[in-house]
């Protein structure tokens, strides 16, 4: 046999006719499905390759992801375990295989056969295997048969690529339609308009007589929108039937098709059957709206004529569209509710979290919060009124200038502790001393003249001169007293609170000018600035403690002695001046020290102590806005 001759020259005349017959090739090209195309291809391969006993094409099923035979030659071929084994080898090794084996019923070597198989690969993906069993022949003819099988594999690859392209185009078209429908739903501002748009456009896309959208309200699904119908109040029987079909879908949480596509499922379709019977018979499909937890919150019901039932592809598309649009519609429905309804729904959801299963953290937090509220509602504590405080002397003496003069010396200043009689400052008395000497000289002169007048017996002169002597005595006494007052001394043992003349030596002072202020060291009083919101709780006789900024580790007890009924503004708030008496006196205390005072009122509940300020503020605010 000439191996270089064309392949069909090695076949019979009938096989050659099959190979060149245009009808056979047209059947291969125009096959409506992959199975038909594989059968035509296998027929050509088995008729063109010399002495093929049988053949099979195994293709991977897209639904079950398993390899299944889709074409046989001859059509009623007997079971061949050899082809099964060689097919399995190709699937494992992903390359062409040639196996020699004895005939299943004969042991003679002349009856031995060969199994040849080659993988169907597209873009490094294994789609299936084509396997043939041929009669025994020389090695060169086996190679030719293997090459013919390999070359013919291009037709199967072409069919697979064309099928994938068609599927991709179909999927892209469906995806684009789904996204366009979802975009139309998003553009609507209200749930009613969005649901109406969704139902109408979906009915136009899949050629339905009617599409209905419903959402769960209470325990039943209420129809929200019908396609091509803005108002459906007069169609109460229709709406009731559609709602019953949606409830049936809600209860079973499954896609329901009527007429029933298979008798094997146990789904209940009583409401769907009644809907079809009451409204002119037809095909009905209801798809549930399911959330991430599997709970049903609505449904989509579609109705068609009986002669156009819902196929699997349409149902799959509608399920995808519902999965995209349903959450958007549900969100719009929730946003369109009244504010009180939203608050009630949120409150109910939180209660379900607290009493239902799961949500351990929320339950733990709620229990802790409840325990804290109960604790602080029962537990009592000391209620104090706090206020800024300062220390003043119980008495405060002002030391003033006794006459008009000038400062000559300053022996003390503010902050110095002085004893009684200790010199504080000196006023300039030199002019008064000179004036005093002048009046002494004038008195001596008047005395001599008085004695002369007495010797002469001049009574008139005696009387005038006696008055002048008395005037001189008065001036001398006055100047002596003023000279003695030029030395200003401390009236008692204490501390100088105010006054520093060391920087004013030689400065003039007027009579009555305050030079120093002194306070004793053994008598103090506390001045508290109590806020007007708390002053109603303060009473005379109440106790408290004072903590000074200079002595933060040593609180001083005090008792309230006087509440001034006049308020003063300080830092944007009104305060009342409350005077208190210190019960313990320390050598470290000084007038003018500031700190913080706390007045003990009584024992009250902690929850009231911590919240009464905000409650009082709210009472005033509400009252101010109340008509």
Q: Residue 233: which CATH number? A: 3.30.450.40
- The yes-or-no verdict on residue 525 having pLDDT over 90 is no
For residue 545, what pLDDT is reported? Answer: 92
- The yes-or-no verdict on residue 358 having pLDDT over 60 is yes
pLDDT tens digits along 1-50: 344 434 333 444 444 455 556 666 676 666 677 778 888 888 888 878 87
**Cis bond leading into 259, ω under 30°?**
yes
What share of the chain has pLDDT > 70, as a percent?
Answer: 90
- The yes-or-no verdict on residue 555 having pLDDT over 60 is yes
Number of structural domains found in the chain: 5
What share of the chain has pLDDT > 90, as a percent?
Answer: 10
Are 319 and 423 members of one domain? no
Residue 462 domain-assigned (yes or no): yes
Are 59 and 134 members of one domain? yes
Are 323 and 343 members of one domain? no
The overall pTM is greater than 0.75 = no
Residue 563 domain-assigned (yes or no): yes
Range of the domain at 88: 7-168
Are 350 and 254 members of one domain? no
Q: Any idea which of 134-138, 227-231, 535-539, 616-620 has the lowest mean pLDDT?
A: 227-231
For residue 246, what pLDDT is reported? Answer: 93
Beta bridge partner(s), residue 389: 528, 595
Are 26 and 137 members of one domain? yes
- The yes-or-no verdict on residue 64 having pLDDT over 90 is no
Helix H segments across 211-311? 236-252, 270-278
Residue 441 domain-assigned (yes or no): yes
Is-contact 229 258, C-beta < 8 A?
A: no
Angle subtended by helix axes 312-335 and 139-187, to nearest 10? 30
Residue 385 domain-assigned (yes or no): no
pLDDT tens digits along 395-451: 778 888 888 888 888 888 887 888 888 888 888 778 788 888 888 888 888 888 888
Residue 449 domain-assigned (yes or no): yes
CB crowding 492-509: b at 16 or more within 10 Å, else e = eebbbbbbebeeeeeeeb
Residue 136 domain-assigned (yes or no): yes
For residue 141, what pLDDT is reported? Answer: 85
Length reported for the chain: 627
The residue ranking higher by pLDDT, 560 or 44, is: 560
pLDDT tens digits along 578-618: 999 888 888 788 888 899 999 999 998 888 888 888 998 89
Residue 67 domain-assigned (yes or no): yes
Q: 144: helix, coil or strand?
A: helix
For residue 7, what pLDDT is reported? Answer: 39
For residue 248, what pLDDT is reported? Answer: 92
Are 164 and 202 members of one domain? no
For residues 269-284, give the mean pLDDT.
83
Classify residue 602 as exposed, middle or buried by CB count within 10 Å of its CB (0-12, 13-18, 19+). Answer: exposed
Are 62 and 109 members of one domain? yes
Are 408 and 301 members of one domain? no
The residue ranking higher by pLDDT, 594 or 359, is: 594
Are 205 and 142 members of one domain? no
Last residue of a domain, one of 346, 377, 408: 377
CA-based nearest residue to 535, from 392, 381, 383, 387: 387
Residue 176 domain-assigned (yes or no): no
Q: Any idea which of 71-85, 273-287, 368-382, 528-542 has the lowest mean pLDDT?
A: 71-85
Q: What is the mean pLDDT of the chain?
A: 82
For residue 595, what pLDDT is reported? Answer: 92
- Helix H or strand E segment including 139: helix 139-187
pLDDT tens digits along 291-350: 888 889 999 999 988 888 888 888 888 888 888 888 999 888 888 888 888 888 888 888
For residue 249, what pLDDT is reported? Answer: 92
Are 301 and 349 members of one domain? no
For residue 14, what pLDDT is reported? Answer: 44
Are 41 and 134 members of one domain? yes
CA-based nearest residue to 282, from 302, 254, 252: 302
Q: Residue 581: which CATH number? A: 2.40.30.170
- The yes-or-no verdict on residue 626 having pLDDT over 70 is yes
Are 471 and 533 members of one domain? no
As a whole number of angstroms, the distance between CA 496 and CA 518 comes to 4
The residue ranking higher by pLDDT, 418 or 235, is: 418
């Amino acid at each position: 046999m000439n191996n270089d001759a064309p392949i069909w020259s090695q076949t019979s005349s009938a096989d050659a006719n099959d190979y060149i017959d245009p009808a056979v090739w047209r059947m291969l090209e125009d096959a409506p499905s992959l199975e038909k195309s594989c059968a035509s291809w296998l027929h050509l391969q088995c008729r063109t390759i010399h002495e093929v006993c049988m053949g099979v094409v195994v293709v991977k099923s897209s639904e079950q992801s398993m390899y299944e035979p889709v074409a046989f030659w001859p059509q009623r071929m007997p079971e061949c375990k050899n082809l099964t084994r060689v097919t399995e080898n190709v699937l494992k090794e992903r390359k062409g295989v040639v196996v020699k084996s004895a005939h299943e019923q004969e042991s003679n070597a002349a009856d031995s056969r060969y199994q040849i198989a080659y993988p169907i690969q597209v873009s490094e993906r294994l789609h299936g295997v084509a396997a043939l069993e041929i009669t025994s022949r020389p090695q060169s003819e086996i190679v030719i048969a293997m090459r013919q099988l390999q070359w013919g594999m291009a037709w199967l690859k072409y069919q697979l690529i064309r099928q994938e392209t068609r599927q991709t185009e179909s999927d892209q078209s469906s995806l684009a339609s789904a996204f366009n429908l979802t975009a139309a739903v998003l553009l609507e501002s209200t749930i009613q308009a969005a649901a109406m748009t969704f139902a109408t456009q979906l009915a136009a896309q899949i050629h339905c007589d009617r599409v209905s959208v419903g959402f769960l309200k209470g325990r039943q699904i209420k129809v929200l929108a019908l396609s091509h119908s803005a108002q459906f109040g007069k169609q109460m029987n229709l709406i009731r039937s559609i709602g019953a079909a949606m409830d049936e879908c809600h209860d079973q949480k499954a896609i329901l098709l009527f007429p029933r596509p298979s008798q094997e499922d146990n789904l209940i379709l009583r409401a769907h059957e009644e809907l079809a019977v009451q409204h002119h018979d037809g095909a009905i499909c209801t798809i549930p709206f399911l959330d991430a937890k599997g709970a049903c919150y609505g449904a989509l019901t579609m109705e068609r004529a009986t002669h156009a039932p819902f196929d699997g592809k349409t149902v799959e598309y509608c399920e995808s569209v519902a999965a995209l649009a349903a959450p958007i519609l549900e969100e719009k429905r929730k946003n369109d509710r009244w504010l009180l309804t939203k608050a009630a729904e949120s409150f109910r959801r939180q209660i379900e979290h607290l009493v239902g299963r799961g949500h351990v953290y929320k339950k733990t937090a709620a229990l802790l919060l409840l325990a804290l509220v109960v604790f602080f509602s029962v537990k009592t504590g000391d209620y104090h009124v706090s206020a800024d405080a300062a220390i003043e002397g119980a008495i405060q003496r002002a030391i003033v200038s006794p006459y008009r003069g000038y400062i000559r010396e300053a022996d003390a200043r503010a902050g110095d502790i002085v004893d009684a009689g200790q010199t504080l400052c000196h006023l300039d008395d030199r002019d008064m001393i000179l004036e005093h000497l002048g009046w002494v000289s004038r008195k001596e002169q008047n005395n001599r003249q008085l004695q002369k007048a007495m010797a002469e017996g001049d009574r008139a002169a005696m009387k005038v001169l006696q008055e002048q002597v008395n005037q001189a005595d008065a001036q001398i006494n006055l100047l002596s007293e003023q000279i003695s007052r030029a030395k200003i001394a401390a009236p008692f043992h204490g501390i100088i609170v105010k006054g520093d003349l060391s920087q004013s030596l030689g400065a003039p002072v007027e009579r009555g000018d305050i030079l120093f202020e002194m306070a004793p060291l053994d008598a103090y009083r506390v001045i508290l600035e109590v806020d007007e919101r708390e002053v109603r709780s303060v009473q005379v006789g109440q106790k408290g403690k004072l903590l000074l900024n200079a002595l933060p580790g040593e609180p001083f007890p005090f008792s309230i002695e006087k509440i001034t009924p006049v308020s003063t503004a300080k830092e944007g708030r009104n305060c009342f001046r409350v005077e208190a008496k210190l019960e313990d006196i320390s050598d470290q205390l000084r007038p003018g020290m500031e700190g913080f005072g706390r007045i003990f009122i009584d024992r009250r509940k902690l929850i009231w102590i911590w919240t009464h300020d905000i409650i009082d503020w709210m009472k005033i605010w509400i009252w101010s806005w109340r008509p």
